[in-house]
A and B are shown apart, each in its own frame.
Chain A
Amino acid sequence: MNDQRAGSPADPTEPVRPVLRLSGVNKSFGPVHVLHDVDLAVRPGEVTALVGDNGAGKSTLVKCIAGIHPVDGGSIHFDGEPVRITSPKDAADLGIEVVYQDLALADNLDIVQNMFLGRERTRGGLLDETDMERAARDTLASLSVRTVASVRTPVSALSGGQRQTVAIAKAVLWNSRVVLLDEPTAALGVAQTRQVLDLVRRLAERGLGVVLISHNMNDVFEVADRIATLYLGRLVAELPTRDTTHAQVVELITAGRSGDLGLPRAENVAL
C-alpha cells in the first residue's frame, strides 16, 4: 500500500476492492473540456479527499457520479459491475448520496419534507408524516444539531450552516454505500465543522465509501485516508495521506506536479 503511486487506482495488489471505480471519465460542456480521462477509486471504509483549485472540475466530477451530468466517455463500475448512471435516481438506487456545494434544498418545504424529498414514506397511499418526522429527528439528533427550533421549520428560515447540516443529514438518512460531500464545511462554524468531520470519519468506520471535497488542508489531512488531486480536469495523483505532506499536495493542486508525482514534466509544459 505504501508503494501506491498516482495513476494506478486499479492496481490488483490493493487490499480493498473499490466500491466505486471511475475509469477514463471525460466530460465537456460544449467546447469546454472539463474532465480529462479521470480515474478514481472509492473504497469502502475509507475517506478519499478530492482536492483541486477553483474550477478544477471537482463539482463536475461529483455531479457526473450523481447522474446530474451525463458523462461523455469512460466507464463507471459499482461493486465491480459496470453501471450506467443517467439520472439522480440511478445513483440513489445504487446507494450513492451526494451533498451538493450549491445546496439542493427546496426553500418552501420544511426540514422533514426536504430530507425525504423524492423518497417519501407512505401508508395507504398517503404520506406517513409521523414516521418521516421521527426518522428525521433521530438523524438530526445524531448529528447534534442544536440550533434549530423545530424539524418543521421551513428551510427558508435556516442559516447557511443549518441548511448544510440538513443537506448532510439528508444524505446520512439513507442506507447508502457511497457518500460524496462537496465542500460540506465551507459555510460552517468551528463546532459544526468539527461535527461534520467526526461524522465523515464515522461514516467511513461504518464501511461506507466517502469522498470529501475541501479546500481546507488541515481538514483533509485530519480525516482523509487518501488524497486525490484534480488539476485542470485531470486526476494527477491519488496518494495515501500518510505518504504525503501538505507541501506536496499544495504543489500538486497549483502546478499539477510535485517532484516525481503528478503530471510528467513534458505534458506539464505542454499544458
Chain B
Amino acid sequence: MTQLSPNSSSGEERTEPTDGFAIDTTRRTTREALGDYVARLRGGQLGALPALLGLLTLFVVFTVLSDRFLTLGNLANLLGQGAGIVVIAMGLVFVLLLGDIDLSAGTASGVAASVLALHLVNNGNLLGAMGTAVFLLFCGAIVLAVVLALMARLWIGAGLATLGLLLVVLGVPANPWLEILLAVCVGTAIGCLTGFLVARVGIPAFVVTLALFLAWGGVVLQFVGVGGTLGLRDDVLFAVANGSLPVWGSWLFALVAVLGYVALGWGRHLRQVRAGVVTAPTPLVLGKLGAVVLLALVGTWLLTLNRSPNDQTVIAGVPYVVPIVLVLLVLGTLVLDRTRYGRHIYAVGGNREAARRAGIDVVKIRMSVFVVCSTVAAIGAVIYSSKVGSVDPQAGGGNTLLFAVGAAVIGGTSLFGGRGRLRDAVIGGTVIATIDNGLGLLGQPAAVVSIVTGVVLLLAASVDAVSRRRAAAVGR
C-alpha cells in the first residue's frame, strides 16, 4: 500500500530539527538506556526480574541447606524434571496473552500421552486396544476437530489433526517418531475442539476448559484403564527426557546456537543503526550478547563434564531436553515477536475491540491459541512421560496444569492478557522445578512442596498485581 504523508510536499517540515518527530530519539547512550530501565522498574514494569531474583534466592538457599543440590548430576536432573512443565507453560502463554485460560491443557496432554502409550504398547492397533465403540468415538472426535479447524480456516491445525486421524486409522506399526507425531496431532485435534467452544460458540474459557479438564481426565482413565500403567519400553522415547547429546554433539549444538544467536542479534542491531530506527545502545547490545554467550558456553562445559555418581559409568553431555526447549522457545518467540500472527495475538490481548476494528479476525486468533496450547502441551506430555517412563491414569492430572499456569505467571506473564513472553514460561518453570527438586533433596513430603509452590505463586501474583497498581499510579 502506498503511503500518504500529508506534509511530504513541504520538505522544510522534515529538515527543521525541532519539528515533529525530529525530537524523537532513535539512539540513546548506555546511561540513558539504563536510566530508562530503572524508570520502567520504578513504574512497575518488572518483567522477569522478580522471577530471576527468586530463582537466585532458591539456588542459594538450597545450596546452603543441601550438599547434593549444587551437583552436576542434580542440575542435569533438574532440567529433565522441569522440561515437561516448561513446555506446557510455553503453550499456555499463548492463551494467557489473550487474557483467556486453558485449565484443560494438563489433562489434554494426558490424553495425548495415553494415545501415544496405547499405540506403542499395542503396536499400532488402537482399534483392538480401545474396543470398537471407543475407537469410533475417538476417530469421530478427530474428524469433528478437522471440520471445525477447516471452518475456521486454521489450515495448519486442520492438517495436523488430519495427519493424526490417518496415523490412527491406518494402524501403522509402532515407531517412536511416529508416536511422538501422533501425540502432537492428538493435541492439535483437542485444541481445535476447545478453541471452537470458546471462540466461536462463545462460552467463557474458564467454563469450557474446566469441563474439558474433567472430561479429558476421564478419557485418560478410559484409555489407560483403572489402576493400569502403560510402560514406554522404547529407547528413543526413554531418551527424550533422560538421554543426553554426546560430548562432541553438545559442543556442536552450543556452537551453532551461540553463533546463530550472535549473528541474528548483532545483524539486527547493525540493520537498525543503518536504517536510523530506534535501537538499543551498542555497548548494551554487546554486553547482552556477551553475557548469553558466556552463560551458554559455561553451561555446556559443565554439562559435558562427567556427572556419573559412580566410577564405572560416564554420564556427560547436554540433555536432549535443552535443545528441545530451546528450539520451541526460539520458534515461539519468533512467531510472537516477528510475525503478523504474533502481533495480532498481543493486539487482541491488549484491546479486543481495537483489534476487531483494525480488521483482525478475533475469533480465528482466539481459536488458534487454544490449538497452539494443546499442541505444545502434547509435546510436554511426551517429555514428562519419557521422564517417568510410563503413562498412568493420572497423566497430566493433579498439579500438572496448575504448575504450568504458575510457571507462566511466576515468570511474569499477566493473567489479564496482552503482557507476557515465552521466556517467562522457561524462567517460571525453572523456579517451580527448583522448588520441587530442592525440597525433595531435603526430604520434605509432597505436602510441603505443594504449600511452598502455592506460596511462591501467590507471591508472584502479588508482584503482578502490585506492579499493575504502581503502573496505574504513575500513569503507564
Contacts and interface: CB of A to CB of B under 8 A. Distances in A.
Interface of A: 66, 68, 87-89, 92, 98, 100, 103-109, 113-114, 117-120, 122, 125-127, 129-130, 133-135, 137-146, 148-152, 154, 156-157, 172-176, 199, 202-203, 206
Given A113-B343, A117-B347, A134 B277 contact: yes
B20 A146 contact: yes
Contacts of B276: 134
A173 B7 CA distance: 11
Contacts of A150: 24-26, 278
A184 to B, nearest CB: 14
B343 A88 contact: no
A206 B26 CA distance: 31
B359 A87 contact: yes
Nearest to A120: B340
Interface in B1-17: 1-8, 13-14
B25 to A, nearest CB: 6
B313 interface: no
A100 B22 contact: no
B357 A100 contact: yes
Nearest to B7: A142
Nearest to A138: B5
A109 B278 CA distance: 15
B156 to A, nearest CB: 14
B23 to A, nearest CB: 7
A45 B275 CA distance: 36
B360 interface: yes
Contact of A151 (B19, B21, B343): B21
B350 A106 contact: yes
B354 interface: yes
Contact of B346 (A92, A100, A106, A145): A106
Contacts of B234: none
B288 interface: no
A117 B354 contact: yes
5 contacts: A113-B347, A122-B340, A140-B21, A151-B24, A175-B4
Contact of A137 (B24, B272, B353): B24
Contact of B360 (A117, A157, A173, A203): A117
Nearest to B272: A130
Contacts of B476: 154, 156-157
A149 B2 CA distance: 26
B339 interface: yes
Contacts of A114: 354
Contacts of B271: 130
A127 B340 contact: yes
Contacts of A149: 23-25
A125 B277 CA distance: 20
Interface of B: 1-8, 13-14, 18-26, 271-272, 275-278, 334, 338-340, 343-344, 346-347, 349-351, 353-360, 418-419, 471, 475-476
Contacts of A175: 1-4
Contact of A120 (B343, B353, B418): B343
B358 A118 contact: yes
A241 B20 CA distance: 32
Given A92-B359, A104-B354, A119-B359, A127 B343 contact: yes
Contacts of A140: 20-21, 24
A169 to B, nearest CB: 10
Nearest to B275: A130
Contacts of B3: 135, 138-139, 173-175
Given A88-B359, A146-B23, A106 B2 contact: no
A137 B26 CA distance: 11
Contact of B278 (A98, A103, A139, A151): A151
B4 A106 contact: no
A70 B471 CA distance: 37
B13 A141 contact: yes
A141 B355 contact: no
A72 to B, nearest CB: 20
B5 A118 contact: no
A103 to B, nearest CB: 8
A152 B24 CA distance: 10
A88 B13 CA distance: 33
A125 B339 contact: yes
A234 B332 CA distance: 52
Contact of A148 (B14, B21, B340, B359): B21
Contacts of B278: 133, 150-152
A107 B2 contact: no
Contacts of A117: 343, 347, 354-355, 358, 360
Nearest to B28: A150
A143 to B, nearest CB: 7
B3 to A, nearest CB: 5
A251 B360 CA distance: 41
A135 B25 CA distance: 15
Given A142-B13, A206-B4, 6 more contacts: A108-B351, A108-B419, A117-B358, A133-B277, A141-B13, A151-B24
Contacts of B349: 108
B418 A106 contact: yes
Contacts of B334: 126
A92 B471 CA distance: 34
A68 B473 CA distance: 33
A86 B143 CA distance: 31
A107 B275 contact: no
B6 A202 contact: yes
B21 A145 contact: yes
B355 A118 contact: yes
A206 B4 CA distance: 10
A157 B8 CA distance: 28
A150 B24 CA distance: 5
B245 to A, nearest CB: 29
B383 to A, nearest CB: 29
A105 B338 contact: no
Contacts of B357: 66, 68, 88, 98, 100, 104
A3 to B, nearest CB: 34
A4 to B, nearest CB: 29
A141 B21 contact: yes
B355 A106 contact: yes
Contacts of A143: 6-7, 20
A174 B277 contact: no
